[in-house]
Structure 1
Amino acid sequence: MKILSTKILTDIQRELLASYEVEEVSMIDISFGEGFKITEKIENAVFTSANSVRSVFKIHQNKANWFKTVYCVGTKTQSLLEKYGIKVAVVANNAAELAQVLAHKFSEETHLLKEISWFCGNLKNDDLPSIMAENGVLVTEYKVYTTTLVPQKINKPFDAILFYSPSGIKSYLQKNKATLAPVVCIGVTTATEALNSFEEVYIADETTVESVIAKVKEII
């Protein structure tokens, strides 16, 4: 069985697919820029990807004590935040779900400052700011990393394709047609994008690469 991963896997992740023929082709490039520093206390911070956490804490070395209350999307993002000393108040499966939770929280707890600081990339999904705006919550965006599409032509068929972001799907489709092979996506937002082009779409049980791998092994 042949599997296409649209990102480069770690050695441990690769070992999980040792019994399959796997090709790894990165469809996006991430860059973090320079000189981003937090200079004032952040009351309500939102991180919707692991890359935003890496940028703020690893690359630009901002300190955990600048952040009062932190919310995030995905268990991988949560784990990275905790690595840098951040206690996460709420973890959601996707940005829209987190926005609904926050909207309810702000409406119930009226003493909270109705403002969030969102640490995101340039190719962000607009579900969160749209829902926040509908509920009278101000969103300040900090674009802390840049995603660039690097589409690659795939010249052979695969029995399954693994996608880890909507931008990865968009990049893939710039040089390749949607196939009838099943695709496995890391989360709801990625799967929603995939459903625009692919017929057989599966979602990993958790928003981790390991869960994507477990799901593809389950279906093939």
Structure 2
Amino acid sequence: MRILATKKLTPIQKSMLKGYDVQQKEMISISYGENFIVNEKISHAIFTSANAVKSVFERNKNKKDNFDNVYCVGAKTKSLLASYGVKVCHVAKNASALAAILVEKEIEDLHFYCGNLRHQDLPLAMAEHGIMVTENVVYQTELSNHCFEMSFDMVMFFSPSGVMSYVNGLNSCNVKAICIGYTTATEAINSFEEVFVAEETTVESVIDKLKEISSH
């Protein structure tokens, strides 16, 4: 069975796929903005990706004390925020679920830290309830749009932009798409008939889901 991982796996992660023909290809590249400094107190901040966290706290060295209430999507994003000493008020599986939480809190304004290819689900949901969202684009995602000469039985996707890059490369969508989360799966459903979502938002969980599906 031939598998495509749309990002480089660690040796341990690849060892979990022993017995499979695994191909690896980075389908996106990330660049972080410089000199993005937060000098004011941010009452409510949203992070929906680990890359946004890296840009704000690692690359641009912003202080966690400037962020009062922080909300995020995904266990990986929460874990990374915690590594910088940032306490997360609420974590959700996807942007829509997070939007529902924020609406209940009757927040008046939010700061959304995101990439250039962010989905508009959360800002649109906030706008419907009269909540002002300030979008801060803190990293850039570039798609490779790579076209593969070989075909695959299953493809592992780790971001919506990874799905977009694969599809834009005119690769076959007659394969099983194994996705790291619901936002990624929502993008995949537009092109793939068979879409599966990992139990947790980790690479290891995606691999576990792939092995579960392939055993049936």
Quote the Cα distance in structure 1 between the aligned partners of 2:11 and 2:58.
22
The alpha-carbon deviation at position 176 of structure 1 amounts to 2.6
The alpha-carbon deviation at position 153 of structure 1 amounts to 1.4
The alpha-carbon deviation at position 10 of structure 1 amounts to 2.1
Is residue 151–residue 172 contact of structure 2 (8 Å, CA) maintained in 1? no
Structure 2 counterparts to residues 201-216 of structure 1, below 5 A: 201-216=195-210
1:153-172, CA deviations, whole angstroms, 9 ceiling, x for partnerless residues?
A: 11112221011112111111
- Residue 162 of structure 1 aligns with an amino acid whose one-letter code is M
The equivalent of 1:136 in structure 2 is 130
1:86-130, CA deviations, whole angstroms, 9 ceiling, x for partnerless residues?
A: 110000001111011100111xxxxxx511111000000101111
Quote the Cα distance in structure 1 between the aligned partners of 2:74 and 2:89.
13
The equivalent of 1:160 in structure 2 is 154
- Residue 154 of structure 1 aligns with an amino acid whose one-letter code is F
1:191-216, CA deviations, whole angstroms, 9 ceiling, x for partnerless residues?
A: 12111111111011112211111100
Structure 2 counterparts to residues 19-30 of structure 1, below 5 A: 19-30=19-30
SS at match of 1:3: strand
Quote the Cα distance in structure 2 between the aligned partners of 1:3 and 1:67.
41
Quote the Cα distance in structure 2 between the aligned partners of 1:96 and 1:179.
26
The equivalent of 1:34 in structure 2 is 34
Quote the Cα distance in structure 1 between the aligned partners of 2:152 and 2:114.
32
The equivalent of 1:17 in structure 2 is 17
Structure 2 counterparts to residues 39-118 of structure 1, below 5 A: 39-106=39-106, 114-118=108-112
Quote the Cα distance in structure 2 between the aligned partners of 1:121 and 1:181.
28
Count of residue pairs the alignment pairs up: 214
Following TM superposition, where does structure 1 have runs of at least 4 consecutive aligned residues deviating by more than 6 angstroms? Answer: none
1:52-106, CA deviations, whole angstroms, 9 ceiling, x for partnerless residues?
A: 0011111111111111010000000000000000110000001111011100111
Quote the Cα distance in structure 2 between the aligned partners of 1:52 and 1:179.
29
The alpha-carbon deviation at position 24 of structure 1 amounts to 0.6
Structure 2: state its 5+ residue gaps. Answer: none
What percent identity do the matched residue pairs reach?
Answer: 52
The equivalent of 1:110 in structure 2 is none
The alpha-carbon deviation at position 151 of structure 1 amounts to 1.4
* TM-score, normalization by structure 1: 0.94
